[in-house]
Amino acid sequence: MSLKAGIVGLPNVGKSTLFNAITKKHILAANYPFATIEPNVGVVTVPDTRLDYLVSLYNPKSIVPTTFEFIDIAGLVSGASTGEGLGNKFLSHIREVDAIVEVVRCFDDENITHVEGATDPIRDVEIINTELILADLDIVVNRLGKIEKKAETTKDKDSIREVNVLKKIKESLEASTPIRLLDFDDDELEIIKNFNFITQKKIIYVANVDEVSASVGDNDYSLKLKEYAHKENASVVVMCAKLESDLADYEDSEREEFLKSVGITNSGLDKLIFATYDLLGLATFFTSGPDECRAWTFKKGMKAPDCAGIIHTDFKKGFIKAEVMSFNDLEDAGSELKVRENGKLRLEGKDYQVQDGDICYFRFNV
C-alpha cells in the first residue's frame, strides 16, 4: 500500500533539513529560496518494537518493516496560487500526496534568511494555507462555470448535486475555511473525490524550533502554533530539524544517548513518523515465520480479504479464512504453540475487521 505525505512550507523554514533527517539522505538544503526544484521522495521505515520481538522469536531469514513515503516539496511563497515562485508546479505536486506535513519556522537565526523578513509562525501558516485555499477555489470556480448553466437548463440530477456540493465548498473557501473542516455525506465525497482538492487533505504541523527549545519541549512560537492548530483539530509535532539531521547518521544507541544528554526523551523524527502514520488512518498487521517476519500497512477498518489482497491479489480472490492472533496474546504466551493451547488463535471470516497488531495467516484457494 503506497501512501505519501508531502512536506510543505515557506522557503528556509527547515523542510529539506527535516527531509534529510527523515530519510537519511543528504539532498540540497541551501540557504535561499527554491533550492529544491523537483520533489524529493524518501521511503520511511516505521519503527516498531513488535516486529523486533517477532524477529527475536522466529529468527527469520528475511525482515521487512512497514514503510511509507515522504515527499519534500519546494518552498511555496505568497502568490503561489497565481504562479509566483514556480507555484503552480509545486501545487501540482501537493495534489498527489495523501497528507500534508507543514513545516513552520519557530526559531530566530540572523544567519538564515526569512523570506518574509522576520519569524512569525501564524503569518507563515496563513500564507501557505491561503495559497492552498486559492488554488482549490480556482478549480471550484472553473468547474462551476462549466457545469452550473447545464444543471439549470437540463435539470440533470447528477449535475445539480455536483453544483450544490461545489457551491458549499466555494462558500467555505471564500471564508478561508479549508475543505477538510467541512462535513460531507458519502454521495458528496463520491462527487468530489476526483478533484483531488489540496485543502481536503489531512494536515499536521511541524514546529521547527532551536535545540534549546527542543530540550524543553516548546517556545513562544510553537505555543502560538499549537493554539492555532487546535482550532482546526490539527496536531503539532515540536522538533529541531537541524539536530535530528545531525543525528541521522548516528547509530541508534548513540543517538538515544545523545538525545538523553540534551534532555530530549523521544526523537522528534519518531514522533513525526508515528503522528503522520496515525493521521493517515494507518495500522499494521504482521505475517511471521522462519522464512520471513513482515509488517504490512493497512487502513483502519479494512476487512480480512482486503488485507489479504495487500499481500497478493490472489489471496483476496480466493479468500477462505484468516488465522489470527493478536501480538499481545503472543507476547504474553511467549510462543505460537502456547497461543494455540490457550485458545487465543482465532479463525476469522470475510467480515472480520483486521486490528492493529494482528498476526495473520490467510487461507485461500484459486
The average confidence (pLDDT) of the chain is 86
Residue where the block lists cell 511467549 = 334
CB 84 within 8 A of CB 78: yes
Average pLDDT over residues 30-49: 64
Comparison of pLDDT for 303 and 365, the residue scoring more: 303
* Element spanning 257, H or E: helix 252-261
Average pLDDT over residues 305-323: 95
Comparison of pLDDT for 93 and 291, the residue scoring more: 291
Helix (H, G, I), strand (E, B) or coil at 87: helix
Question: Can you give the pLDDT at residue 96?
Answer: 85
* Percent of the residues in the chain that have a pLDDT greater than 90, as a whole number: 54
Question: Can you give the pLDDT at residue 46?
Answer: 84
Phi-psi sector, 249: left (phi>0), alpha (psi -120 to 50), beta: alpha
Determine the Cα angle at 17 with ends 84 and 201, to 5°: 60
DSSP tag of 99: E
* Element spanning 315, H or E: helix 313-317
300 pLDDT more than 90? yes
Half-sphere exposure at residue 151, Cβ-oriented, CA atoms within 13 angstroms: 17
Q: How far is CA 129 from the centre of its chain?
A: 17
What are the pLDDT digits (tens) for 241-294?
988 888 877 777 787 787 777 777 677 888 888 888 888 889 999 999 999 999
CB 208 within 8 A of CB 238: no
Lowest-pLDDT range, 14-28, 176-190, 256-270?
Answer: 14-28
* Percent of the residues in the chain that have a pLDDT greater than 70, as a whole number: 89
Average pLDDT over residues 2-18: 85
Q: Which set of grid coordinates corresponds to residue 69?
A: 513515503
Q: Which set of grid coordinates corresponds to residue 34?
A: 527554491
0.85 exceeded by pTM: no
Kindly report the number of other CB atoms within 10 A of residue 49's CB atom. 7
- Pick from 299, 331, 305: nearest CA to 317: 305
Comparison of pLDDT for 31 and 120, the residue scoring more: 120
Q: How far is CA 148 from the centre of its chain?
A: 35
Distance from first CA to last CA of the chain, Å, rounded? 22
Give the pLDDT band of residue 37 (cuts 50, 70, 90): very low
DSSP tag of 31: S
Question: Can you give the pLDDT at residue 39?
Answer: 56
CA-CA distances (angstroms) from residue 351 to 55, 302, 347, 348, 354? 30, 9, 12, 8, 9
Helix (H, G, I), strand (E, B) or coil at 151: helix
Question: Can you give the pLDDT at residue 271?
Answer: 86
Determine the Cα angle at 364 with ends 362 and 366, to 5°: 150
330 pLDDT more than 90? yes
Question: Can you give the pLDDT at residue 308?
Answer: 97
Q: How far is CA 38 from the centre of its chain?
A: 20
Average pLDDT over residues 316-332: 96
Question: Can you give the pLDDT at residue 76?
Answer: 61
DSSP output for 193-212: GGG--GGGSEEEEEEE--HH
What are the pLDDT digits (tens) for 143-172?
999 999 888 888 888 899 999 999 999 999
Comparison of pLDDT for 326 and 115, the residue scoring more: 326
d(CA 364, CA 319): 4
* Element spanning 361, H or E: strand 358-364
Which residues, in sequence order, are CB contacts of 120 under 8 Å at separation 6+? none
Question: Can you give the pLDDT at residue 274?
Answer: 87
- Cα dihedral 294, 297, 300, 301 in deg (nearest 10): -70
d(CA 306, CA 360): 13
Comparison of pLDDT for 132 and 93, the residue scoring more: 132
DSSP output for 209-226: --HHHHHHT--HHHHHHH
d(CA 15, CA 104): 9
Question: Can you give the pLDDT at residue 88?
Answer: 52
Maximum average pLDDT range among 3-7, 107-111, 187-191, 248-252: 187-191
CA-CA distances (angstroms) from residue 78 to 4, 116, 174, 300, 306? 25, 9, 17, 37, 43
